[in-house]
Amino acid sequence: MRVDPRPIGIFDSGVGGLTVLREVKRRLPRESTVYLGDTARVPYGPRSAATVTKYAINNARTLLALADIKALVVACNTASAHALPALTEALPIPVVGVIEPGARAALAASTHGTIVVLGTSGTVRSGAYPRAIGPSRRVEARACPLFVPLVEEGWTTGDVPRLIAEQYLRDLPTDTSVIVLGCTHYPLLAPVLRAAVPAPIDGAAATAVELEALLRARDIQAPADSARRHRLLVTDAPEQLARVAPAFLGEAVDPASVELVDVLMTA
Amino acid sequence: MRVDPRPIGIFDSGVGGLTVLREVKRRLPRESTVYLGDTARVPYGPRSAATVTKYAINNARTLLALADIKALVVACNTASAHALPALTEALPIPVVGVIEPGARAALAASTHGTIVVLGTSGTVRSGAYPRAIGPSRRVEARACPLFVPLVEEGWTTGDVPRLIAEQYLRDLPTDTSVIVLGCTHYPLLAPVLRAAVPAPIDGAAATAVELEALLRARDIQAPADSARRHRLLVTDAPEQLARVAPAFLGEAVDPASVELVDVLMTA
């Protein structure tokens, strides 16, 4: 059995992908990670497919150049929706997105009825979830553009998020059996969403499972005795990431440990 | 008297600055304009001063290179707050921001009491409004980070914006005499804000007055018989700008007329 001590690269438009990093660290405690939050260009949700793809490739090349990653997790639904084929083609390493695992988790959670997917406008427009879920189930994807700013602002409880959630979740199909949180920010709104809908699920844990299978299949798992390291990189405002990170990551983050980087602009 | 038919350049992080373009077109009907909305990197409000300054200089150099502008209007409070000195130093043309005119409009609107400024986190953190208003008046600046996403989403009336506005405007100083809308998006929320506060004012009209004075002082006004042209440029998703522009600009925008450009990345 070969081993590979190089880190796993993870990127997101900002802090939302830390919910995926959390699951990766939990599931793969031997692995080193390098997380890049593209906070200088967040959010990706409203942007065009071409722009999100360009940003995704910038981020991936930056992680390769700065940290020699052995695999990439696209911990952002919008980037997974628009850029996964382009990333897979452009990169010399395996790439895992969050949409296929999220779709599989939805199919595992229910055997009938409509699957409702909440996501950014970009994710909804892309049609990526209905494609990944396949023709066996009815899928209704709804854009919830205010959820990301609400979470970034820290307004995850109270009347404002409740009212906004009620608007977005109005008139759900009567046979709705599962709600997929198709954006890595949304799990932070789970308490508000749970009041309105049956158990919402997200793809973070399923993504970590898929990553584990991929590392095993390629024989590139970290050695048992390797020195683990977890780096956090951002393209803007490290102190802001450090401030909000604990809610996503479930642990404290030392502001001095967050590195400010410029992404490589070659697409 | 000399004349100068070259256009006036105007940039904003996105669509908000169209409220300034509207006033410029109204006040200076002879002038040609080129508006650049940096929709690939909107919003600027939460970003660091260094990043906003870099983006502002990218935008200004792009307007110079593509359209040979004779003067620049920074139609974004956050960019005016962070980048005006750097722009003035870097560019060979005169530069007008929106904060000085907004501050003067606030001083003209009231002679006593506290001036409350609503703005993005970046504008508030910069302290630009208290500096521009000066020590004669008490200034309270409040960050309202959800207002921009609300306006971008088109939610400018109803319970959600009303509740959010109530939160941001809670416990205003009892001697508040004027509220400045220190972000070019916020005038679209004026109906909701008017329910909560005395007549809110914004700097768009005052900025057009300042621009007019500057063109006259430099002797670079457009000739009376010049062929006027108004160009709209964006860095992403032209069709989205065309869709929301009428609310800001007060006139219809042909989607086919909005040009997609790459900004020059040399800072």
CA distances from A125 to A129, A131, A154, A167 (A): 10, 12, 26, 19
> Do A155 and B146 make contact, defined as CB atoms within 8 angstroms?
yes
Residue with tokens 């006259």, as numbered in its chain: B216
**What average pLDDT does range A24-48 have in this prediction?**
97
pLDDT at position A154, please? 85
| A55-112 pLDDT per residue, tens | 999 999 999 999 999 999 999 999 999 999 999 999 999 999 999 999 999 999 999 9
For the beta sheet containing B200-201, the strands, ordered from the edge strand earlier in sequence to the opposite edge, are B139-143, B114-119, B176-182, B200-201
**Rounded Cα–Cα distance for residues B9 and A245 (Å):** 39
Q: Does A239 touch chain B (CB under 8 A)?
A: no
Q: Does B51 touch chain A (CB under 8 A)?
A: yes
Residues of B in contact with A168 (CB under 8 A): none
**Rounded Cα–Cα distance for residues A200 and A216 (Å):** 29
Provide φ and ψ at A85, rounded to 5°. -60, -45
Q: Which of A10-14, A199-203, B33-37 has the lowest mean pLDDT?
A: A199-203
Its ipTM equals: 0.92
Helices (H), B8-120: 18-27, 49-67, 77-90, 99-109
pLDDT at position B267, please? 56
Q: Tell me: pLDDT of A267 over 60.
A: no
Q: How confident is the prediction for chain A on average, in pLDDT?
A: 95
CA distance B156 to chain A (A): 13
The dihedral over CA atoms of B223, B224, B225, B230, expressed in degrees to the nearest 10, equals 80
Q: Which of B81, B9, B19 is nearest to B45 (CA)?
A: B81
Q: Tell me: pLDDT of A205 over 70.
A: yes
Which H/E stretch holds residue B245?
helix B238-249
Neighbours of A129 (CB within 10 A): 27
pTM: 0.94
Give A251's Cβ-side CA count (13 Å radius). Answer: 9
> Do B237 and A167 make contact, defined as CB atoms within 8 angstroms?
no
- How many CB contacts within 8 angstroms connect chain A with chain B? 60
A177 in helix, strand or coil? strand
From the list B183, B201, B249, B263, the catalytic residue is B183
Q: Give, for all 267 residues of chain B, the pLDDT tens digit.
A: 789 999 999 999 999 999 999 999 999 999 999 999 999 999 999 999 999 999 999 999 999 999 999 999 999 999 999 999 999 999 999 999 999 999 999 999 999 999 999 999 999 999 999 999 999 999 999 999 999 999 988 899 999 999 999 999 999 999 999 999 999 999 999 889 887 776 799 999 999 999 999 999 999 999 988 789 999 999 999 999 999 999 999 999 999 999 999 998 865
